[in-house]
A = this chain, B = another copy of it.
Amino acid sequence: MFVVSAPSGAGKTSLCRELIDSIPDLRQSISFTTRNIRDGEQDGVDYFFTQTDSFQRMIAEQLLAEYAEVHGNYYGTSLETLNTAEAEGVDLLLDIDCQGAAQLKKNYRRGVFIFILPPDFAELKKRLYNRGTDHEDVIQRRLENAEQELLQAPWYDYLVINDDFQSAKKKLMAIITAERCRMSRTTYLLNNFTVKGDK
Protein backbone atom coordinates (compact mmCIF):
# COMPACT_ATOMS: atom_id res chain seq x y z
CA MET A 1 0.00 0.00 0.00
CA PHE A 2 1.60 3.22 -1.22
CA VAL A 3 -0.04 6.38 0.11
CA VAL A 4 0.71 9.63 -1.69
CA SER A 5 -0.25 13.06 -0.33
CA ALA A 6 0.53 16.52 -1.61
CA PRO A 7 -0.91 20.01 -1.64
CA SER A 8 -2.91 20.92 -4.79
CA GLY A 9 -0.50 22.09 -7.42
CA ALA A 10 2.30 19.66 -6.56
CA GLY A 11 1.56 17.51 -9.60
CA LYS A 12 0.40 14.50 -7.61
CA THR A 13 -2.40 13.39 -9.92
CA SER A 14 -0.29 13.31 -13.11
CA LEU A 15 2.55 11.57 -11.27
CA CYS A 16 0.22 8.89 -9.90
CA ARG A 17 -1.21 8.28 -13.36
CA GLU A 18 2.31 7.78 -14.76
CA LEU A 19 3.19 5.35 -11.97
CA ILE A 20 0.12 3.23 -12.63
CA ASP A 21 1.01 3.09 -16.33
CA SER A 22 4.68 2.23 -15.69
CA ILE A 23 4.69 -0.21 -12.79
CA PRO A 24 3.27 -3.74 -12.92
CA ASP A 25 1.05 -4.97 -10.09
CA LEU A 26 0.24 -1.45 -8.95
CA ARG A 27 -3.40 -0.39 -8.92
CA GLN A 28 -4.88 3.05 -8.37
CA SER A 29 -7.23 3.02 -5.41
CA ILE A 30 -10.54 4.69 -6.27
CA SER A 31 -11.99 6.79 -3.45
CA PHE A 32 -15.61 7.41 -2.62
CA THR A 33 -16.67 11.05 -2.54
CA THR A 34 -19.80 13.10 -2.00
CA ARG A 35 -18.57 16.05 -4.05
CA ASN A 36 -20.19 16.79 -7.40
CA ILE A 37 -18.84 15.11 -10.51
CA ARG A 38 -16.84 17.53 -12.72
CA ASP A 39 -16.62 17.77 -16.48
CA GLY A 40 -14.46 14.98 -17.83
CA GLU A 41 -14.70 12.83 -14.71
CA GLN A 42 -16.21 9.35 -14.77
CA ASP A 43 -17.96 7.56 -11.94
CA GLY A 44 -15.96 4.44 -11.00
CA VAL A 45 -12.83 5.79 -12.69
CA ASP A 46 -11.93 9.07 -10.98
CA TYR A 47 -14.08 8.46 -7.92
CA PHE A 48 -17.12 6.50 -6.85
CA PHE A 49 -19.54 9.42 -6.63
CA THR A 50 -22.06 8.91 -3.88
CA GLN A 51 -24.69 10.73 -1.80
CA THR A 52 -23.95 12.11 1.64
CA ASP A 53 -26.41 9.77 3.39
CA SER A 54 -24.86 6.71 1.69
CA PHE A 55 -21.42 7.89 2.70
CA GLN A 56 -22.50 8.44 6.29
CA ARG A 57 -23.98 4.91 6.32
CA MET A 58 -20.57 3.55 5.20
CA ILE A 59 -18.97 5.40 8.11
CA ALA A 60 -21.54 4.05 10.57
CA GLU A 61 -21.12 0.49 9.28
CA GLN A 62 -17.32 0.80 9.49
CA LEU A 63 -16.86 -0.01 5.82
CA LEU A 64 -14.17 2.65 5.36
CA ALA A 65 -10.44 2.25 5.93
CA GLU A 66 -10.09 6.03 6.08
CA TYR A 67 -12.20 9.08 5.40
CA ALA A 68 -11.98 12.84 5.66
CA GLU A 69 -14.27 15.81 5.29
CA VAL A 70 -12.77 18.59 3.19
CA HIS A 71 -14.71 21.82 2.58
CA GLY A 72 -18.01 20.10 3.28
CA ASN A 73 -17.38 17.07 1.07
CA TYR A 74 -16.53 13.58 2.22
CA TYR A 75 -13.70 11.54 0.70
CA GLY A 76 -12.88 7.98 1.74
CA THR A 77 -11.41 4.59 0.86
CA SER A 78 -13.44 1.43 1.40
CA LEU A 79 -12.01 -1.51 3.29
CA GLU A 80 -13.12 -3.64 0.36
CA THR A 81 -10.69 -1.82 -1.96
CA LEU A 82 -7.81 -2.69 0.37
CA ASN A 83 -8.93 -6.28 0.91
CA THR A 84 -9.46 -7.02 -2.79
CA ALA A 85 -5.99 -5.72 -3.69
CA GLU A 86 -4.42 -7.78 -0.94
CA ALA A 87 -6.29 -10.93 -2.00
CA GLU A 88 -5.16 -10.40 -5.59
CA GLY A 89 -1.56 -9.70 -4.60
CA VAL A 90 -1.36 -6.24 -6.15
CA ASP A 91 -0.08 -3.09 -4.50
CA LEU A 92 -2.44 -0.16 -4.12
CA LEU A 93 -1.59 3.45 -4.84
CA LEU A 94 -3.73 5.78 -2.74
CA ASP A 95 -3.90 9.44 -3.63
CA ILE A 96 -5.38 10.89 -0.44
CA ASP A 97 -5.07 13.86 1.87
CA CYS A 98 -3.15 14.02 5.14
CA GLN A 99 -6.17 13.35 7.35
CA GLY A 100 -6.93 10.06 5.61
CA ALA A 101 -3.25 9.15 5.41
CA ALA A 102 -2.88 9.64 9.15
CA GLN A 103 -5.77 7.21 9.76
CA LEU A 104 -4.15 4.57 7.55
CA LYS A 105 -0.78 5.10 9.25
CA LYS A 106 -2.45 4.54 12.61
CA ASN A 107 -4.53 1.52 11.60
CA TYR A 108 -2.24 -0.33 9.19
CA ARG A 109 1.40 -1.02 9.76
CA ARG A 110 2.41 -1.88 6.25
CA GLY A 111 1.77 1.28 4.29
CA VAL A 112 4.49 3.38 2.68
CA PHE A 113 3.79 7.10 3.01
CA ILE A 114 5.09 9.53 0.42
CA PHE A 115 4.75 13.32 0.45
CA ILE A 116 5.14 15.27 -2.79
CA LEU A 117 6.01 18.97 -2.91
CA PRO A 118 6.98 21.56 -5.48
CA PRO A 119 10.45 23.03 -4.76
CA ASP A 120 9.15 25.98 -2.73
CA PHE A 121 6.09 28.03 -1.78
CA ALA A 122 6.55 30.56 -4.59
CA GLU A 123 6.50 27.73 -7.13
CA LEU A 124 3.36 26.22 -5.60
CA LYS A 125 1.64 29.59 -5.84
CA LYS A 126 2.80 30.05 -9.44
CA ARG A 127 1.47 26.63 -10.45
CA LEU A 128 -1.92 27.24 -8.87
CA TYR A 129 -2.28 30.56 -10.71
CA ASN A 130 -0.98 29.11 -13.99
CA ARG A 131 -3.58 26.35 -14.00
CA GLY A 132 -6.07 29.13 -14.55
CA THR A 133 -8.92 26.88 -13.44
CA ASP A 134 -9.55 28.30 -9.99
CA HIS A 135 -10.87 31.60 -8.66
CA GLU A 136 -8.69 33.78 -6.48
CA ASP A 137 -10.52 32.71 -3.30
CA VAL A 138 -10.14 29.02 -4.17
CA ILE A 139 -6.41 29.53 -4.73
CA GLN A 140 -6.09 31.32 -1.39
CA ARG A 141 -7.89 28.42 0.31
CA ARG A 142 -5.59 25.92 -1.40
CA LEU A 143 -2.54 27.86 -0.23
CA GLU A 144 -3.83 27.87 3.33
CA ASN A 145 -4.53 24.13 3.07
CA ALA A 146 -0.98 23.61 1.84
CA GLU A 147 0.34 25.25 4.98
CA GLN A 148 -1.73 22.89 7.12
CA GLU A 149 -0.65 19.86 5.13
CA LEU A 150 3.01 20.81 5.39
CA LEU A 151 2.76 20.47 9.14
CA GLN A 152 1.92 16.79 8.56
CA ALA A 153 4.80 16.14 6.14
CA PRO A 154 7.48 15.18 8.70
CA TRP A 155 5.81 11.89 9.71
CA TYR A 156 5.73 10.63 6.11
CA ASP A 157 8.37 8.06 5.11
CA TYR A 158 9.54 9.83 1.98
CA LEU A 159 9.66 13.33 0.53
CA VAL A 160 9.75 13.77 -3.24
CA ILE A 161 10.31 17.26 -4.58
CA ASN A 162 8.57 17.68 -7.93
CA ASP A 163 10.91 20.24 -9.48
CA ASP A 164 11.16 18.22 -12.68
CA PHE A 165 8.37 15.81 -13.66
CA GLN A 166 10.62 13.02 -15.04
CA SER A 167 12.98 13.20 -12.09
CA ALA A 168 10.07 13.09 -9.60
CA LYS A 169 8.56 10.15 -11.49
CA LYS A 170 11.90 8.32 -11.36
CA LYS A 171 12.13 8.87 -7.61
CA LEU A 172 8.60 7.60 -7.01
CA MET A 173 9.27 4.52 -9.14
CA ALA A 174 12.50 3.94 -7.19
CA ILE A 175 10.62 4.13 -3.89
CA ILE A 176 8.15 1.48 -5.04
CA THR A 177 10.89 -0.79 -6.43
CA ALA A 178 12.97 -0.38 -3.27
CA GLU A 179 10.08 -0.97 -0.88
CA ARG A 180 9.29 -4.20 -2.71
CA CYS A 181 12.86 -5.34 -1.86
CA ARG A 182 12.45 -4.61 1.88
CA MET A 183 13.57 -7.57 3.95
CA SER A 184 10.25 -7.52 5.81
CA ARG A 185 8.49 -8.21 2.48
CA THR A 186 11.05 -10.63 0.98
CA THR A 187 12.21 -12.81 3.88
CA TYR A 188 10.29 -15.72 2.35
CA LEU A 189 12.84 -15.77 -0.50
CA LEU A 190 15.48 -16.89 1.99
CA ASN A 191 13.61 -20.20 2.18
CA ASN A 192 15.02 -21.11 -1.22
CA PHE A 193 18.32 -21.55 0.59
CA THR A 194 17.14 -24.08 3.13
CA VAL A 195 16.94 -26.66 0.33
CA LYS A 196 20.60 -27.20 -0.42
CA GLY A 197 20.28 -30.08 -2.87
CA ASP A 198 23.13 -32.58 -3.19
CA LYS A 199 25.70 -30.45 -1.41
Q: Give the residue among A117, A157, A192 with the most B Cβ atoms within 10 A.
A: A192
A179 sits at the interface (CB 8 A): yes
Contacts A117-B189, A174-B174 supplied; 18 other A-B pairs, CB < 8 Å: A117-B190, A119-B192, A121-B193, A121-B199, A122-B197, A124-B193, A153-B190, A154-B183, A154-B190, A156-B183, A159-B181, A159-B183, A159-B186, A159-B189, A160-B181, A170-B177, A174-B178, A175-B177
A182 sits at the interface (CB 8 A): yes
Minimum Cβ distance to chain B for residue A143 (Å): 6
Residues of chain B contacted by A193 (CB below 8 angstroms): 117, 120-121, 124, 146-147, 150
Bound state CA distance, A160 and B199, in angstroms?
Answer: 24
A27 sits at the interface (CB 8 A): no
Minimum Cβ distance to chain B for residue A155 (Å): 8
Minimum Cβ distance to chain B for residue A179 (Å): 7
Minimum Cβ distance to chain B for residue A149 (Å): 10
* B124, B160, B179, B189: the one within 8 Å of A161 (CB): B189
* Interfacial residues of chain A within 110-158, with CB under 8 A of chain B in the complex: 115, 117, 119-122, 124-125, 143, 146-147, 150, 153-158
Q: Name which residue of chain B comes closest to A179, CB basis.
A: B178
Bound state CA distance, A34 and B55, in angstroms?
Answer: 70
A87 sits at the interface (CB 8 A): no
Bound state CA distance, A10 and B96, in angstroms?
Answer: 40
Please state if B177 and A171 are interface contacts (CB–CB under 8 Å). yes
Residues of chain B contacted by A154 (CB below 8 angstroms): 183, 187, 190
Residues of chain B contacted by A60 (CB below 8 angstroms): none
Bound state CA distance, A160 and B182, in angstroms?
Answer: 9
Minimum Cβ distance to chain B for residue A114 (Å): 8
